[in-house]
Amino acid sequence: MSDAFESVRVVDKPTAWELAGVSRRTWQRMEARGETPPVTQVSPNRVGYRLCDLKAWLDARRMGPAPTQATA
């Protein structure tokens, strides 16, 4: 059962910006510009980000394939 819910698990903002590798302030600026993943309302007082949405957001921000290392 744990695996079935892992992709839709909701994490709070501090965890989201930590997983994304950005600072709190950078996340806030991106959020103000509408550049963060969609927020999920879990309860009246709890919002966060689903891991699957965070992963899709990160995947969409990729800049291309990883560089290959030349062999000598």
Give me the residue spans of the domains in the chain.
2-60
Kindly report whether the global pTM for this prediction surpasses the value 0.85. no
* Contact between 40 and 50 (Cβ < 8 Å): yes
Residue reference for tokens 């957001």: 57
Indicate whether 65 pLDDT > 90.
no
* Contact between 37 and 27 (Cβ < 8 Å): no
Summary mean pLDDT of the chain: 88
Give the pLDDT of residue 14: 95
Indicate whether 37 pLDDT > 70.
yes
In this prediction, residue 35 has a pLDDT band, given cuts at 50, 70 and 90, of: very high
DSSP-derived 3-state class of residue 35 = coil
Q: How far apart are CA 30 and CA 12, in angstroms?
A: 16
In this prediction, residue 67 has a pLDDT band, given cuts at 50, 70 and 90, of: low
Indicate whether 70 pLDDT > 80.
no
